Structure 1
Amino acid sequence: MIGRLTGLIAEKNPPQIVLDVGGIGYELDVPMSTFYNLPGAGERTTLLTHLAVREDGHFLYGFLSEAERFAFRLLLKISGIGARTALAVLSGLSVGDLAAAVTRQEIGRLIKIPGIGKKTAERLLLELKGKLAEVGGAAPGVVADTVRDDILNALLALGYNDKEANAALKQLPADVATADGIRQALKLLSKV
């Protein structure tokens, strides 16, 4: 098993890179979250890897963090989820966002990912429940905070994306009420 590779980035063609390790070029498929955080071509990097051996070939997947690799391996254990779908999930949501979506049972966030339908999203929510909490980086107090959940869901329902809604949510006072929080978040978002 190949667990980690350190080398120079020879090529970057999303979602695949070629990592030159001692003159040998390893092709790795990476989630877009990893791809965007990689240094430029010719620069040195270290990737954690997952090697999949199938009858049609050997496939290597690379990740910048242990949390991403752990989530990828959890996704692969789910019936009907292959490597491409697992990469799509990790490209569409960070591990923390995925953990929060699973904890809150937010099927809508998963359906937004290309290639994920309602049935697949339901299966993901069921199979991942309780398995990503410690890895996702989401503090239990934040996940359990129903006022913040309500504000976030209201912003998402109004058409704001996850990034915009979470950025506004971070700027709100900790003890804000739901209605006031929504009003303040909308004011913050209107200034952008």
Structure 2
Amino acid sequence: MIGRIRGILIEKQPPDVLIEAAGVGYEVQLPMTSFYQLPDVGEEAIIYTHFVVREDAQLLFGFADKSERALFRELIKVNGVGPKLALTILSGMSAAQFIQCVTHDDYTGLVKLPGVGKKTAERLVVEMRDRLKKLAEQGDGVTQLPTLTAEKDGATLLVTTDVKEDALSALVALGYKPVHAAKVINTVYSEGASSEDLIRDALRSMG
């Protein structure tokens, strides 16, 4: 199993990166909480990984630290939660915030995430409660991001700039509907913002 990669970042297109180590380029998908912590393209990065083998693909998921990877590994054990949904959950809130939602039976915070309905939220709380007792004690180094809040209104649906297109592609890959994502992107967009800034601000305002 590939558990850790140390190499040079060749490409960054959220939520995907290409990192070269020992002459091999690895395509890795990261939750946005980890993506925000990456250095610039051309610099060295260390990514903790989880390797998934399917009949039709071999996938690498990456994380900024071991605690977030540990939470990801527990999430995909939950009935009805696959790697894509687990990645979406960790993009919408930090590992520490997810632990807080489960500990306090905060179903409302969980259902704000795309792909997490009431039944899935209930399963997450029930199945993760005991597992998270141990993970909560190992939460050092987890990036703190605000949980998702209500959607802002009044945005147009036109997406024109490369920065906006990059942000839209990332949000759609995380499970958000294109029209909804485009609307929020135009609401939070400010001149000079990078695609990473735009994704972060959109995630903060989307519900």
Q: Quick one: distance in 2 between partners of 1:134 and 1:51?
A: 23
CA deviation vs aligned residue, 1:118-143 (integer Å, no higher than 9, x gap): 1111111111012113323699xxxx
Q: 2:135 aligns to what SS in structure 1? A: coil
Partner of 2:196: none
TM-score normalised per structure 2: 0.65
Ranges in structure 1 where 5+ consecutive residues have no aligned partner? 140-160, 165-192
For residues 43-122 of structure 1, what are the structure 2 equivalents within 5 Å? 43-122=43-122
Preserved contact between residue 30 and residue 61 of structure 1 (Cα < 8 Å):
yes
State the secondary structure of the residue aligned to 1:135: helix
Q: Is structure 2 residue 120 aligned with structure 1 residue 133?
A: no
Give, in angstroms, the shift of residue 16 of structure 1: 0.5
- 2:90 aligned counterpart, secondary structure: helix
The aligned length equals: 143
Q: Structure 1 CA distance, aligned partners of 2:36 and 2:86? A: 17
Aligned residue type for 1:76: I
Q: Identical aligned pairs, as a percentage? A: 42
Tell me, in whole angstroms, the C-alpha distance in 1 between the residues paired with 2:126 and 2:79.
12
CA contact (8 A) 1:48 1:63 kept: yes
Structure 1 residue ranges (4+ consecutive) displaced by more than 2 angstroms after TM superposition? 133-139, 161-164
Q: CA RMSD in A?
A: 1.9
For the 8 Å contact 2:109–2:148, the answer to whether it is kept is no
8 A contact 1:100–1:138 mirrored in 2: no
Structure 2: distance between partners of 1:50 and 1:56? 17
Residue type of the alignment partner of 2:46: T
SS in 2 for 1:133: helix
> 1:163 deviation in Å?
8.2
Q: Residue 22 of structure 1 corresponds to which residue in structure 2? A: 22
- Report the CA distance between 1:115 and its aligned residue: 1.5
Q: Matched residue of 1:56: which SS?
A: coil
**8 Å Cα contact 2:6-2:44 kept in structure 1:** yes
CA contact (8 A) 1:16 1:28 kept: yes
Normalised by the length of structure 1, the TM-score is 0.70
8 Å Cα contact 1:6-1:46 kept in structure 2: yes
